[in-house]
Amino acid sequence: MHTGLGWALAPPRSSPQALHADIWGNDRPRPGRVRFHHILWKRQGSLCNTQIVPGAFTDGETWEEHYTQMTTASAPCLLVDNEVLHRGAANPSRNWVSTCSIELCTRTGYEEVWKESSENDGVYRMLPICWSG
């Protein structure tokens, strides 16, 4: 299922985003695989510089040591687990920069996390992705 699609924009000389996880498993153990995929890419050969804290599945909580554990990606396309801490890096340039993003939820993520999540208020609906038969 599709949970989000769009462009992330950063104005010239902007600070980095707050360190965050887009969604987390509400105290349920992870099944050992990605449940919420976050695919990021740049256009025209630019590189994504998203900052990630490897292995930081913290139910969205950030701690001081996470800032020293961050690593900066450098690739035209990234696949990030939305349950791990990450943030958009600072934009020191004089230009606006953008990254395209699509967020996907697996069947496991939907069944184990989303259905009973506080984010599932009954108004926001995930869009299914399927092949027409």
Which domains are assigned to the chain? Answer: 2-116 (2.60.120.620)
Per-residue model confidence (pLDDT) at position 119: 62
Rg (CA), the chain: 16
pLDDT digits (tens, 9 = 90+) for 28-84: 656 567 888 889 999 887 899 999 999 888 887 899 999 999 999 999 999 988 888
For residues 49 and 72, is the Cβ–Cβ distance under 8 A? Answer: yes
How many residues in total does the chain contain?
133
DSSP letter for 86, please. E
pLDDT digits (tens, 9 = 90+) for 89-117: 999 999 999 999 998 888 777 777 777 66
